[in-house]
Amino acid sequence: MANESTSSTLSELYTEIVAEAQFVASEKSIMRNLVKNYAISGGGKAVEVPVYAAVSAAAVNEATDLANTAINPTSVTITAAEVGVMTTLTDLARNAAPRNVAADIGKLFGEALATKQDKDLTALFNGFDTALGDGTTAIGAAVLFNALSTLKENALSTDDCQVVLHPKIAYDLKSGFTNTFAGLNTELSNEALRSGLIGRIAGMNVFETSNMANSGNAGDYIGAAFHKDALAIAIMQDVKIETQRDASLRADEIVATSVYGVGEIHDSYGVQLSYDSSIQA
């Protein structure tokens, strides 16, 4: 069997004094809290989400029957699939290390699955039919106000709308707030200078995440402004970490799995933001 975690591969842990472990940085998951969450239970591996179209009321005359309004919702089906990661930890590696190696591996695996969920959700951004930008220019604050006008045109509440950008794209947004031409002493520019955080623009919270794929050339990352109901994740099994004993190998398999699916629910509830970073060629 290949790719076991053995005493050779974990040799760095076998000194007399081991400092606090350092993990390769992993972006904290943000997307799951920004979209609609569904639980898949009661059998099957899919959830069907009814989508009702808006209806309109009209004036009527006294003693006149109302016209019948047909209610015929469409639906979106989200099907769950498994994702996972595994390693085999030998007894010698476990017993010779002064740290709880199994717990360290579990932490790594849990973060890996959370990152996978984020990337699957941000990959849906380029599915929004409404798009701003062509992937060749830097983003500015006016873009977010433009996106918000589209979302509000669809009668969406600003409180449930947010923006998600890659840090390289967000740089241009922040730099626009922190130059002398934009008003250096405004509350928003001061906060960007102090903490590097953007905060709220046009009434929408702006989030940054590196958990998205490059959309083509270097510096091209597709973000989005969207309502919470635009996208969804349907979870059949949340992150689960298990061990299984392999006695003949004198080792334990450490397995992390999750079963979920993602999907776009309302296309008109999201705006694709296709811009290029000015600092990544």
The answer to whether residue 63 sits within a structural domain is: no
Residue 237 is part of a domain; what is its CATH number? Answer: 3.30.2400.10
Q: How many domains does the chain have?
A: 1
Residues 6+ apart with CB under 8 A from 161: 148, 151, 203, 204, 225, 226, 227, 228
The answer to whether residue 174 sits within a structural domain is: yes
d(CA 170, CA 225): 13
Residues of the domain holding 129 = 4-12+28-53+71-276
Place of tokens 């509440």: 157
The answer to whether residue 23 sits within a structural domain is: no
* 187 three-state secondary structure: helix
The answer to whether residue 113 sits within a structural domain is: yes
pLDDT, tens digit, for every residue of 70-82?
887 888 999 999 9
Low-confidence ranges of the chain (pLDDT < 70): 1, 7-8, 10-27, 178-198, 281
pLDDT, tens digit, for every residue of 155-196?
888 889 999 999 999 999 888 775 544 444 455 555 554 444
pLDDT, residue 180, reads 46
